[in-house]
Amino acid sequence: MASAWERKHHHSDLEKVAAFLPNLLAEDSLKRDILIQTVHGVLLFADISGFTALTEKFIQRSGTDRGTDELAQTLNCYLGDILEEMLIFGGDILKFAGDAVLVLWRTSPQELAKTISLVLQCSRQIQKKYGSHDTHVGQKVQLKIGISAGSMSLLIVGDRRRRYFCICGQALAEVCEAEQLANAGEVILSATSWELCEQHRLRTKGLAGKRAVKVMGMDRMSWAECQEALRNLVQYPRSHRLEGEGAMRPALLLPNDPNAEEVLRKYIPEAALRKLDDRVPLDLFSELRPVTTLFVQLQFAADISTVGLGTILHNASRMMVEILCPHKGEINKVLLFDKGCTFLCVFGLTGEKLPYESLHALQSAIQIFNSCSTMLGEIEAVSVAVTGGTVFCGVTGHPERHEHTVIGQKVNLAARMMVHYPGLVSCDAATYAASRLPPYYFKELPERKMKGLSHPGTIYQYVGITKRSTFGMGLTKKRSEYVPLLGREKEIDLFVRCLKAYEDFGQRHILAFEGTMGSGKSHLLTELAYLGQVAGHRVVAMELLELNVRQSFSAIRTLMARALGLQDCEPCSARQHMLQTKLRGTIEESSYCLLNDIFLVEFPISDKVREMRETQRKMELHSTWAKVLEKVIGGEFGIFVIDNAHFIDPASWSIMSPVLRNVSLFMVVSLAPGYARTESFCKAAADNTTSPKITYLHLDELKPSAVVQKVCQELGVVSIPRDLARFLIQRSSGNPYYCEELLRCLRCNAMLLFRTRRQGEKAEDSWESLIIEASPLAATLSSSVRNDGSVCTIRPDVNLENMVLPATLKEIVLAQLDRIKPLKQMVLKFAAVIGPVFTTQLLSHILPAGVRHKMNCLLDMLVSDNILKWLKNTEVPEDVQDPTKGPATSPQAERSVERPSPSKKTVERQPGVLAFCVPLLREAAYELWPERQRVALHHKCAAFLEQHAHKCESCCQGDFVAFHHFAVTSTQDGRSCQGPADPGDSRSWEALVLAGEQLKRDRTHATEGRFLAKSKQTTELPSKTDGKHNSACSCECKVIVESVLVPLARHYMAMGDAARAFYYLLECVAAYLHASNSYMALMKLNEAEVLRNSVEKKANGIARFEEAIFFSLKGEVCCLMGRMKLAKKMIREALSLLKRQFPKTSVGAFVKSQVEQLPCAAYVSRRASSLPQEARRKRLAWLLRQSCCLSLLEHVFSLEGTSSGQMFSRLAARMKANTDRAADSYQAADSRHR
């Protein structure tokens, strides 16, 4: 039976909103802003036991991303079925808490007894059906249920913009206690509900020392009694639901009232509202997204009143919203369960991703902790936990009642940390590392055993700003003593010239280097600081952090403290002595006390300062700082280097700005675009009065040659494979940090191999050595770099295109992606499934029907945003265009990108082809998809592309492996995706040809240029035979393989259909050989080898004919690459699989030649005519493959020049002639029976 989520549901706008909320919030009384309301009814608290252990099992089995996805899918299916039963029995789902749910049956006090019986019948039915559930990973989950009854209070907290609701009271406390007393599979009645229930119906068992009871059995209510109990529930509006009729929620029967919708929207998380407003379909709400989770737990006094509790929650929620909003965090839910009052806050949800997200979360956490600890007097304890990682962000529950939340291992970990590390701000190792804060901002906490978590990792306490962090830090990047800084020769030369002018003529100068995150600003400043020190200058260097921009006067304090040497003065008296020594004559003695709070000193408060009013004191403080700053940067203290100067806080800038204009100094700063301080420096550089004294320089991306050299430096090798060079150049876009992170990910996952290259070393005659030997190498390092002559290769079973994006880069790219609206994001996510280049026809085929009419308009906007680019037939030729320049950001790109004006009305256009401007953006968008939806989209893509998976018209169409699909029809065609897509027309074919040309250009040209001049090999290796592949294919097949066959193999791999993926990998190999591209044929054969080995391990196996094709194509490639001995071995294996043995000895060859002379044409002709068409064509495919293998053997043996070689060559020719005659007979029979 299909689960609740697999059934289609259609709602109005109001119903879509109401589905996120309980029926309780739909009542008229809530529209009158009643903040505390008394409610009577029965509460049910159901908790899934083993959920945390199940999470761990999924992560261990499938990895973080896929494991999280599988967990969410399993939970949704299981929980959806349970909720279906509760809805049928009239339950109102109040709250979700990950693996738990709180449900209310609202009724009058007089009907509590009947309602308890109804709830008990529902509970026992749920336990019978779903009480124990075996998952496919071997972890069993079970259900515990607690029930209570009586009166409770509904609290509404928040402000006019955002609202939250909670249930509190004795009934809530009792239901939490009952659930905790329950074991797996049990139903526990609280003491009050036991007193109120129809005890004559029940068979119970007492619990030792408790008034609550365990329900062992009950006399079932009749259908009429259930109907009566349902009618007596307090519902708005009235609706009758009977067991067996399916779930129907009263809230979903509301009239389409805009006022009601406006009120209800206040209770829905903002992440869900953004998607609702953009009309994103509900099944596309969910994503696998890296976020930072923040749990806040507030512990109250046991005797706190309901009014007091409501006041504290109201103030706490408002305070948290004010803290979270600037950091793009949001409260996802407020829970009053067994863990006290818990706030779940999330950073990085769709549309809200920020760079330095972990830092934003830690800042928010410490602010919330401090505010709750000091401002809310009746709170006994505050605990905050912060974790970061990939989680499921989306809809969970039931189609009629669900919530938008986060699920995953990191969410579970934060909840456990909140409980096991009370009274402080704790964070996990991932948040600690991602924050990039110095270690003194944290304190390592002792390891504690947490239920369900086997390896939680190191847990830290975030202590925030301490005395040690008050004076900031120096430059954190380390300079290499052995290798130069690559690609920054222009900037270094400018620094040297300006420093020379400063030394010789006293010319003050400010060098401002602006670059995006990861462009190498910090490394450059470290190098310049070193050069300044070598030149004999004192260098005062400091690095600012993102948190400094929100701390008044932090930048000026750090600058002055480091210039005066206060960071090394531990005792207060030492700092006081240093200040008096350095500032003697600069400020008055009476003004030293103004520096107390700034430099943590204790000068006596002077009478002059004591008598000042607040305004006067602020003015005097400002004047004193200006004098100190002028003294500090007046020249005697040397060169000033400020990394991340865009984080200078406004208060510091108000003092620094005028001083920088008037004082002679030499300063070097780094800046990032998009900040107020960056704009200030940019304007100053453009100002005629200051421009001679300020140089503002943008850091360009590294050239491809510098990227390759940098990689060789990092790896300590003299050369790297061309495929690795192309991968890193395209993915990094010349950004040094991106390159470093991609390389680190490759090394951490052991995807690279290293070997020492020896002159004259004879290669081993094996397939593995052929792969290594055939891989072209990118440029070598200069001889000045110390290495042992090692070269780097890619592990044979690694496909770089399938590498998961590192978490550090995913955060950066998602921050860029989240700047666009959800609907445009959705289109990008669909396009990402297709690939880096896609046609509008294919995109339209996989888009939801409700979005297709907006597709062209959305694509135009994405092109204008420089995220996509239109491809045209008039592209710059591949030997002229520089593909390392991003089409959306370089002037040259305008000649190859069609940019429609956003103001023009979008009209229906011919099918077109688009490409992603930034490869990382596509990969990040693709990885957001949950697996089930991703697989469905790959299925649609495959259905469309299979219509075009054949040779071009000039090559007579057909399979690249002759009659290939006929030979595998019986075993694989049932799993093919052919059918749903419309037959391809000429326009679709032309678009795919254009897409293939771009993909081929990206593959072959990205690493061409001067930096590969030392590499003698090219991507397309010349043929070494005189066969049909000698001349390059001039038809469209060479690009169709790129846009159709290669994607088809990828789509089937993503779907988990190894047989079809293997099929299309073989088609790719045959197509590349058809286009005389032996190198790519070799690479695709290597992919097929890896897939074949993985299938063998799973005991699935590959069809015999597919194995034969695999070995025959291997033989053909070996032949083309001069490995004749290996070629003979592979071809013999192929013929053996094709049941056409080829002898290995001279005697065997003699016997075989005699057999081949026997007449059999008449028999073959009769057999061909007697077979059905399917079997005839399958046999024909086998014969054609045998003929191909024998032709290759004839050629290989003919090259040996020996008598035995000639004998084997003649035998192969004779066998081929007989095979060709048999194939002709089968073709003739097939023609007669059409």
Question: What is the tens place of the pLDDT at every residue in 840-864?
Answer: 999 999 999 888 889 999 999 999 9
Q: How many helices (H) and strands (E) does the chain have?
A: 47, 27
> How many Cα atoms within 13 Å fall on the side-chain side of residue 217?
2
**15-30: average pLDDT:** 77
pLDDT at 1114: 92
**Phi, psi at residue 617, to the nearest 5°?**
-65, -40
Measure the CA angle with vertex 1006, ends 1003 and 1012; round to 5°: 115
pLDDT at 376: 61
pLDDT at 389: 92
Higher pLDDT, 713 or 978: 713
User: Alpha-carbon distance 928 to 774, whole Å?
Assistant: 36
Q: What is the pLDDT of residues 909-944, one digit of tens each?
A: 567 899 999 889 999 999 999 988 999 999 999 999
Helix (H, G, I), strand (E, B) or coil at 695: strand
User: Alpha-carbon distance 1052 to 1061, whole Å?
Assistant: 5
Q: What is the pLDDT of residues 120-156, one digit of tens each?
A: 999 999 999 998 888 887 888 889 999 999 999 999 9
Stretch among 94-98, 501-505, 819-823, 901-905 having the lowest mean pLDDT: 901-905
Q: Is the bond leading into 237 cis (omega within 30 degrees of zero)?
A: yes
Stretch among 307-316, 667-676, 716-725, 1099-1108 having the lowest mean pLDDT: 1099-1108
Give every CB contact of residue 1115 below 8 A, 6+ residues apart in sequence: 1126, 1127, 1128, 1129, 1130, 1131, 1134, 1189, 1192
Q: What is the pLDDT of residues 1061-1078, one digit of tens each?
A: 999 999 999 999 998 888
pLDDT at 306: 86
Tell me which residue of 71, 89, 185 sits closest to 129, measured CA to CA: 185
Alpha helices in 278-390, H assignment, sequence order: 306-324, 357-375
Q: How confident is the model at residue 304 (pLDDT cuts 50, 70, 90)?
A: confident
Stretch among 166-175, 489-498, 584-593, 842-851 having the lowest mean pLDDT: 584-593
**1130-1150: average pLDDT:** 90
State the chain's mean pLDDT as an integer.
82
Inform me whether the pLDDT recorded for 900 exceeds 50. no
Side chain identity at residue 603, one-letter code: F
User: Alpha-carbon distance 127 to 146, whole Å?
Assistant: 12
Higher pLDDT, 167 or 1162: 167
Place of tokens 């004795």: 170
Q: What is the pLDDT of residues 333-349, one digit of tens each?
A: 999 875 578 999 999 99
Cβ burial of 1147 (10 Å; 0-12, 13-18, 19+) is: exposed
Measure the CA angle with vertex 468, ends 462 and 470; round to 5°: 90
Q: What is the pLDDT of residues 831-844, one digit of tens each?
A: 999 999 999 999 99
Is residue 416 within 8 Å of 451, Cβ to Cβ? yes
Tell me which residue of 584, 498, 481, 482 sits closest to 537, measured CA to CA: 498
49 membership: H or E segment, kind and range: strand 36-49
pLDDT at 1007: 45
CA torsion, ordered 1057, 1059, 1060, 1062, to nearest 10 deg: 120
Inform me whether the pLDDT recorded for 980 exceeds 60. no
Inform me whether the pLDDT recorded for 1204 exceeds 80. yes
Inform me whether the pLDDT recorded for 637 exceeds 60. no
Inform me whether the pLDDT recorded for 903 exceeds 70. no
Higher pLDDT, 93 or 1030: 93
Query: What percent of the chain lies above the pLDDT cut of 90?
Result: 33
pLDDT at 427: 96
Stretch among 191-195, 962-966, 1131-1135 having the lowest mean pLDDT: 962-966
pLDDT at 338: 57
User: Alpha-carbon distance 1039 to 994, whole Å?
Assistant: 8
pLDDT at 684: 80
Q: How far is CA 3 from CA 460, 672, 727, in A?
A: 42, 50, 43
Q: How confident is the model at residue 1020 (pLDDT cuts 50, 70, 90)?
A: very low
pLDDT at 8: 47
Q: Is the dihedral of CA 974, 980, 983, 989 positive or negative?
A: negative
Is residue 808 within 8 Å of 741, Cβ to Cβ? yes
pLDDT at 588: 84
Two tokens, residue 345: 């806050």
Alpha helices in 749-895, H assignment, sequence order: 767-774, 807-817, 822-834, 840-846, 849-852, 855-864
pLDDT at 404: 92
Q: How confident is the model at residue 1156 (pLDDT cuts 50, 70, 90)?
A: confident
Q: How far is CA 785 from CA 528, 712, 729, 776, 780, in A?
A: 21, 10, 22, 22, 10
Helix (H, G, I), strand (E, B) or coil at 98: coil
User: Alpha-carbon distance 1159 to 630, whole Å?
Assistant: 107
pLDDT at 33: 62
Tell me which residue of 527, 544, 437, 457 sits closest to 490, measured CA to CA: 527
User: Alpha-carbon distance 1120 to 1114, whole Å?
Assistant: 10
pLDDT at 690: 63
Q: What is the pLDDT of residues 169-219, one digit of tens each?
A: 899 999 999 999 999 889 999 999 999 999 999 999 998 888 899 999 999
Two tokens, residue 947: 């219509």
Q: What is the pLDDT of residues 780-815, one digit of tens each?
A: 555 444 556 788 888 888 888 888 888 889 989 999
Q: How confident is the model at residue 1 (pLDDT cuts 50, 70, 90)?
A: very low
Query: Which of 23-27, 141-145, 336-340, 383-387 ranks highest by mean pLDDT?
Result: 383-387
Q: How far is CA 119 from CA 189, 225, 751, in A?
A: 11, 13, 56
Q: How far is CA 134 from CA 131, 142, 303, 712, 1210, in A?
A: 10, 9, 43, 50, 64
User: Alpha-carbon distance 427 to 442, whole Å?
Assistant: 9
Cross-strand pairs, 640? 540, 667
Q: What is the pLDDT of residues 240-258, one digit of tens each?
A: 443 444 455 666 666 566 6
Would you tell me the crossing angle of helices 855-864 and 822-834 to the nearest 10 degrees?
90
Stretch among 261-270, 465-474, 1148-1157 having the lowest mean pLDDT: 465-474
Tell me which residue of 759, 706, 790 sits closest to 484, measured CA to CA: 706
pLDDT at 23: 87
Measure the CA angle with vertex 154, ends 150 and 156; round to 5°: 175
**Phi, psi at residue 96, to the nearest 5°?**
-110, 145
Q: How confident is the model at residue 293 (pLDDT cuts 50, 70, 90)?
A: very high
Stretch among 223-237, 726-740, 1160-1174, 1179-1193 having the lowest mean pLDDT: 1160-1174
pLDDT at 877: 35
Query: What percent of the chain lies above the pLDDT cut of 70?
Result: 84
Helix (H, G, I), strand (E, B) or coil at 205: strand
Inform me whether the pLDDT recorded for 879 exceeds 50. no
Residue 319: CB atoms within 10 A of its CB come to 16
pLDDT at 1017: 37
Q: Is the dihedral of CA 57, 127, 451, 339 positive or negative?
A: positive
Q: How confident is the model at residue 687 (pLDDT cuts 50, 70, 90)?
A: confident
pLDDT at 873: 59
45 membership: H or E segment, kind and range: strand 36-49
User: Alpha-carbon distance 681 to 172, whole Å?
Assistant: 59
Q: How far is CA 1095 from CA 323, 465, 798, 1085, in A?
A: 53, 55, 16, 15
Q: What is the pLDDT of residues 393-432, one digit of tens each?
A: 999 998 888 999 999 889 999 999 999 999 999 999 999 9
**63-85: average pLDDT:** 86
